Structure 1
Amino acid sequence: MNGAIAGNIAAVKERIAAASRRAGRAPEEVRLVAVSKTKPASAIAEAFAAGQTLFGENYVQELVGKLAEMDEPVTWHFIGSLQSNKVRQIAGKVAMIHSVDRLSLATEIDRQWGALGQNCDVLIQVNIAQEATKSGTTTSDAFDLVREVAKLAHVRVRGLMTMPPFFDDPEGARPYFRQLKELSKQIAVAGIPGVEMKELSMGMSGDFEAAIEEGATLVRVGSALFGERIYR
C-alpha cells in the first residue's frame, strides 16, 4: 500500500493528541484501536510496522484466521457482537472484549477463560440511544448487569462501550458520548467490588475527536487508517 497506512496512522494519532489537548488530557490517556475487520493480514502487518500494536476485530471467524496467519505480536480486542457459542474460539487470544451486553455471554466468557486459568477484561456495551438495530444493555439495566458480571471469578469489568447513532456531523454524537461518561461515573461511585471504570470505548473514524473530548480512552478507527473495505 506504499506507505499509505503508515501515513494515515501518523495523521490519526496527531488528531488524537490534538483532541486530547483540547480536553486538557494527556494524549497517552487515549489508545487507538485499529479496526482491521475485512482487511487482510498484510494490511495489519503494515500497520504494525508503522508502530500500531492494538487491533480490533468484529468477527470471530475472521479473527481466528488472522491469528493463524500472522506472526507479529499484536494485541487483539474483540469489538463486535459476540455469540456465546463462539466464545471458545477466542478464549485466551484477545486482551479485551468490548461488547458484553448480557449475563449469559459474560458467564460463557467466565467459563472459557476459567478453563484456561486466565481472566478476561471486558467492557459492558450500553445502547445509549436504544436503537433497535444495535446491541447493548440499556442505561437503566447497566447497573444490574455490571453487578452480576462482577460476581464472575474470571471476568473483570473495566469500563463501558457504546455505538451512538450515525450523524454526518460528529457533534450529533457528542451527547451520547457524554451520557456514557456520566453513566461510567455513576457506576464508579457505586463502588461495586472488582469493577473499575477506567475504560470508555467510544468514537470511530467520523467522530473520535468528539469522543475523546468527552472522555474516551479507546477509540475504534478503521476506515481513516485502512481506507474503505477491501473485502468481506
Structure 2
Amino acid sequence: MSIAQNLENIHKEVASIATNCGRQPEEIQIVAVSKRFPSEAIEQAYKAGQMLFGENYIQEAEKKIAELDNKPLFHFIGHLQRNKAKTAARLFDCIETVDSFKLAKSLNGHLEREGRVLKILLQVNIGKDPKKAGTTEQETEKLLQEIKQLPHLRAVGLMTMPPLTDAPEEARPYFRNLRMLSERLTSKGLFDSDHKVELSMGMSGDYPIAIEEGATIIRIGTAIFGTRSY
C-alpha cells in the first residue's frame, strides 16, 4: 500500500481505539518516524496530510530538512549528544529525549543565541532497561525543577521506550507507570502547562496499548513508510 493509504488506515485505527477507551481522537498526535527514509518519502506523507515527523540522527535530519520543498514540523526522538545540541536547537520544533540537566543547559544556551524557545519532553527510562537512555523515574522531578530555571525551554511532558518485547501487551505496565508518574508531577506544577501534559509512548507494534494507557504522541515509522532499506 502507498504511504497515503497507510496513513489513512492508521488514522482510522487511532480514532477507533481512542473512541473505545473514552478519549477524543484529536488528543493524539502521530509522529511519522522518517529516520532512514529519503526526503521523498517525507514529501509523500506531507502531501497526504502528515504534518509531524520524527528523526533520530542529527546529520541525516539536517540533510533531509534542507532538501524538502515543504517545511513540516520535526521532533528529535533519538539520543542527543551535547556536541549536537547547537544543531538540534536550530532544526527541531521539539526534542523528546532530554535526560540530563547538562544537556538541557546546553540547549538553553544555544536557543538563547538563536532567539528561540523550544518545547521538550523528558525521556524517562521507566523500565530501568540498561539498553535504553533516559533519566530515572526518581530523578525526573528534580530535573523538571532544574529546567524550570531555563527560560528558553518548555518542558511539556514525558517520553519513554519500554524494554523490547515481541508481545505488545507486555508494554502496558510501563506505559501506565509513565502516565502515573506524569500525574504525580502535574500535581506539583512542574510542567510548562498542567492543563495538557504530553506523553510520547507507543510505536508501530504497540501504539494501541499506549493509546489505551494515555499516550498523546505516538511514534510510527514502518507502519507508515514500510520496511527500512538500511
Scaled by the length of structure 1, the TM-score of the pair is 0.96
Which secondary structure does the structure 2 equivalent of 1:171 belong to?
A: helix
User: In structure 1, what residue type is equivalent to 2:199?
Assistant: L
CA distance in 2, matches of 1:94, 1:101: 17
CA distance in 1, matches of 2:185, 2:191: 11
Aligned match of 1:152 = 150
Structure 2 residue 6 is matched with structure 1 residue 8: yes
Give CA-to-partner distance per residue, 1:84-121, whole Å, 9 cap, x none: 11011122321100000001110011011111111110
Structure 2 residue 65 is matched with structure 1 residue 64: no
**TM-align CA RMSD:** 1.2
CA distance in 2, matches of 1:227, 1:57: 16
Following TM superposition, by how much is the alpha carbon of 1:151 offset from its aligned partner in structure 2, in angstroms? 1.1
Which secondary structure does the structure 2 equivalent of 1:92 belong to?
A: helix
Aligned match of 2:124 = 126
Structure 2 residue 223 is matched with structure 1 residue 215: no
Aligned match of 1:96 = 94
More displaced 10-residue stretch of structure 1: 49-58 or 189-198: 189-198
Structure 2 residue 178 is matched with structure 1 residue 180: yes
2:79–2:133: 8 Å Cα contact kept in structure 1? yes
Alignment of 1:15-30 (within 5 A): 15-30=13-28
2:62–2:91: 8 Å Cα contact kept in structure 1? no
User: In structure 1, what residue type is equivalent to 2:148?
Assistant: A
Structure 1's 194 and 221: CA in aligned 2 closer, same or farther, altered over 3 A?
closer
Which secondary structure does the structure 1 equivalent of 2:14 belong to?
A: helix
Alignment of 1:108-127 (within 5 A): 108-127=106-125
The count of aligned residue pairs is: 229
Give CA-to-partner distance per residue, 1:207-230, whole Å, 9 cap, x none: 001000100000000010111112
Which secondary structure does the structure 2 equivalent of 1:146 belong to?
A: helix
Which secondary structure does the structure 1 equivalent of 2:184 belong to?
A: helix
Aligned match of 1:137 = 135
Scaled by the length of structure 2, the TM-score of the pair is 0.96
Alignment of 1:184-199 (within 5 A): 184-192=182-190, 194=192, 196=194, 198-199=197-198
Which secondary structure does the structure 2 equivalent of 1:113 belong to?
A: helix
User: In structure 2, what residue type is equivalent to 1:212?
Assistant: I
CA distance in 1, matches of 2:28, 2:228: 25
CA distance in 1, matches of 2:135, 2:163: 15
CA distance in 1, matches of 2:85, 2:29: 25
1:54–1:74: 8 Å Cα contact kept in structure 2? yes
**Ranges in structure 1 where 5+ consecutive residues have no aligned partner:** none
Give CA-to-partner distance per residue, 1:19-63, whole Å, 9 cap, x none: 111210010000000000000001111111111010000000000
Aligned match of 1:226 = 225
More displaced 10-residue stretch of structure 1: 113-122 or 33-42: 113-122
Residue 42 (structure 2) aligned to one of 41, 44, 48: 44
Following TM superposition, by how much is the alpha carbon of 1:166 offset from its aligned partner in structure 2, in angstroms? 1.8
CA distance in 2, matches of 1:24, 1:66: 38
